[in-house]
């Protein structure tokens, strides 16, 4: 039986593993941390898509068969509930049990018999297995696979805070006072944000989620003002007519009100961070901005919700043709960039061909396949899985 190596036991890695095993593949899923590690990191945040969009038809059926009570199709789980009620049970299904190797990082993938610059566009490239360089508690080793899916997401690769995506001057040395995720401000991280002046940078849904938690904390504890820095003036969030996702509409309306200065305690500002400086390890941070009207700010902490990018070092020895703007696989990136709608719910499936790489039998799926484009939704990932397993993986004689 041929082996499919899947990198990442997030939602897409696990869903792909189940679908491929049902199609006769011998699946191995390598996860550097725990099942659903990235989702756990934002476990306190409620997903804006309801359960019915967050699980595939095949995982729903498999979990129902075990007698598990599934989340109501129209309710939105938190990230934590999603892990506990879906991802963990998925990893424990008979079809996957024993196939998920947690605590096992894939450092790099290559072809056993070919260097990156060999067999260019030639059939011989698929003539041997992939080698996955693994690193875990037991040390280093290689695993072999006939096909590989990279579903490692982007959540641990934040963009820089400075101009043009660079790190700001002093950003790295003040790393301990910068959060690049959505901190659990109402829970575990509460004490950190109770008394400090916080600067939130960014204008996506993560930024507005962080701001909303900070505003609630301020309402409860009366902590100092919160400064919200964006690169551009105006309303940051598009309000979609009759938006079927209530959570998204609420966040967008609240975010636009905050950007107009209508939310108590949130001070909106426009500019780009160029430098971060402090006189002592716990003294205030002097933030140098790129503009002359308000050239600097003084804060205690920063939440940098400035987007994420894929870690491409994993497949640098393979032949992957990537978009020079988004860093997603080129054909998929072109389809996404060419789409008319700004609503991620309305994205058309890009189709199997858009997921094929010059490297035969190597596929980027899930959030990582969108590169720096943040519009990925799980439901798009389920279609990707079908496209790859049914249409692109090599056929084999299951007997
Ligand atoms: C705050 C927030 C809210 C969101 N809300 C929604 C929503 O409501 N609906 C929706 O559809 N989407 C939502 N998303 C998008 C969401 O990220 C994805 O839908 C989902 O997590 C993507 O799944 P994935 O499996 O592609 O990647 P991830 O969930 O990022 O999983 C990747 C996995 O790979 C592992 N990994 C990474 N590198 C390695 C390596 N080298 N070796 C081995 N393992 C590795 C990681 O530890 C992780 O477990 C949200 C995202 C965020 C940040």
Alpha-carbon span 181 to 179, nearest angstrom: 6
> Ligand 1: which atom is nearest the Cα of residue 245?
8
Q: How far apart are CA 69 and CA 276, in angstroms?
A: 50
| pTM > 0.85 | yes
CATH code at 3-155+308-392: 3.50.50.60
CA 310 to centroid of ligand 1, rounded, Å:
11
Q: Which atom of ligand 1 is nearest to the CA of 12?
A: 25
163-304 and 3-155+308-392 share a CATH fold = yes
Nearest CA to ligand 1 atom 21: 39
CA-based end-to-end distance of the chain: 9
- Tell me what the pLDDT averaged over the chain comes to: 93
Q: Please determine, for residue 306, whether its predicted confidence score (pLDDT) is greater than 70.
A: yes
Quick one: angle between helices 11-22 and 378-386, nearest 10? Answer: 30
Confidence of residue 342 (pLDDT cuts 50, 70, 90): low
Question: Which token pair is 112?
Answer: 């056993």
Q: How far is the CA of 57 from the centre of ligand 1 (A)?
A: 19
Q: Whose CA is nearest to atom 45 of ligand 1?
A: 8
Task: Give the number of the atom of ligand 1 that is nearest the alpha carbon of residue 33.
Answer: 47
pLDDT in tens, 199-228: 999 999 999 999 999 999 999 988 788 999
Among protein residues, the one with the nearest Cα to ligand 1's atom 27 is 153
The residue whose two tokens read 């504890």 is 221
pLDDT of the residue at 105: 98
Contact 210, 303 (CB under 8 A): yes
CA distance 82 to 47: 9
- Tell me, what's the pLDDT at 121? 84
- Check if the beta carbon of residue 336 is closer than 8 Å to that of residue 350: yes
pLDDT of residue 97: 85
pLDDT digits (tens, 9 = 90+) for 360-373: 999 999 999 999 99
What's the chain's length in residues? 399
Atom number in ligand 1 closest to CA 54? 11
Residues near ligand 1 (Cβ within 6 A): 7-13, 30-33, 36-39, 42, 45, 47-49, 105-106, 151-153, 155, 182, 206, 314, 366-367, 376-378, 381
Beta-bridge partner residues of 135: 105, 140
Nearest to 197 by CA among 304, 306, 297: 297
CA of 80 to the centre of ligand 1 (A): 13
- Ligand 1 center from residue 363 Cα (angstroms): 16
Residues 337 and 326 sit within 8 Å (Cβ to Cβ): yes
Domain ranges across the chain: 3-155+308-392, 163-304
Closest residue by CA, ligand 1 atom 10 = 377
Q: What spacing in Å lies between the alpha carbon of 291 and ligand 1's midpoint? A: 35
Interval between CA 246 and ligand 1 midpoint (Å): 22
Q: Indicate the pLDDT class of residue 28, thresholds 50, 70 and 90.
A: very high
Atom number, ligand 1, closest to the C-alpha of residue 156: 37
Query: Which residue's C-alpha comes closest to atom 12 of ligand 1?
Result: 377
- How sure is the predictor about 345, in pLDDT bands with cuts at 50, 70 and 90? low
163-304, CATH topology level:
FAD/NAD(P)-binding domain (3.50.50)
Buried b (16+ CB within 10 A) or exposed e, 241-270: eebebebbbebbebbbebbeeebebbebbb
> Could you tell me the distance, in angstroms and rounded to a whole number, from the CA of residue 144 to the centre of ligand 1?
25
For β-strands 104-111 and 178-179, DSSP reports them as unpaired
Mean pLDDT of 275-293: 90
The answer to whether 256 and 249 have CB atoms below 8 angstroms apart is no
């Amino acid at each position: 039986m041929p082996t499919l190596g899947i990198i990442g036991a997030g939602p897409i890695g696990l869903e792909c593993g189940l679908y491929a095993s049902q199609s006769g593949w011998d699946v191995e899923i390598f996860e550097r941390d725990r099942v659903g590690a990235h989702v756990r990191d934002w476990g306190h945040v409620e997903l804006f898509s309801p359960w019915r969009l967050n699980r595939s038809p095949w995982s729903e059926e498999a979990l129902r068969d075990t007698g598990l009570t599934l989340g109501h199709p129209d309710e939105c789980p938190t990230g934590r509930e999603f892990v506990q009620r879906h991802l963990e049970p998925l990893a424990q299904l008979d079809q996957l049990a024993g196939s998920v190797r947690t605590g096992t990082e894939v450092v790099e993938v290559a072809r056993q018999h070919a260097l990156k610059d060999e067999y260019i566009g030639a059939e011989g490239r698929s003539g041997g297995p992939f080698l996955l360089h693994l690193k875990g508690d037991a040390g280093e080793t290689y695993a072999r696979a006939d096909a590989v899916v990279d579903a490692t997401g982007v959540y641990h690769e934040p963009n820089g805070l400075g101009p043009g995506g660079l790190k700001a001057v002093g950003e790295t040395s003040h790393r301990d006072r910068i959060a690049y995720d959505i901190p659990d401000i109402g829970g575990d991280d509460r004490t950190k944000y109770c008394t400090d002046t916080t600067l939130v940078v960014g204008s996506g849904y993560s930024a507005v989620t962080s701001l909303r938690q900070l505003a609630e904390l301020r309402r409860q504890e009366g902590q100092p003002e919160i400064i919200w820095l964006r690169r551009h003036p105006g309303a940051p969030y598009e309000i979609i007519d009759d938006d079927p996702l209530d959570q998204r509409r609420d966040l967008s309306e609240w975010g636009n009100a905050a950007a107009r200065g209508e939310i108590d305690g949130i001070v909106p500002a426009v500019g780009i961070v160029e430098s971060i400086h402090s006189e002592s390890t716990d003294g205030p941070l002097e933030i140098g901005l790129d503009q002359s009207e308000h050239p600097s700010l003084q804060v205690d902490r920063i939440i940098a919700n400035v987007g994420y990018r894929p870690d491409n070092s994993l497949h640098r020895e393979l032949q992957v043709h990537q978009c020079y703007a988004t860093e997603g696989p080129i054909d998929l990136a072109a389809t996404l960039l060419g789409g008319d709608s700004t609503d991620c719910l309305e994205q058309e499936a890009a189709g199997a061909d858009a997921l094929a790489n010059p490297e035969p039998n190597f596929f980027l799926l899930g959030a990582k396949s969108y590169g720096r484009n943040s519009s990925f939704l799980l439901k798009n990932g389920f279609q990707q899985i079908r496209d790859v397993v049914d249409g692109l993986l090599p056929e084999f004689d299951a007997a």
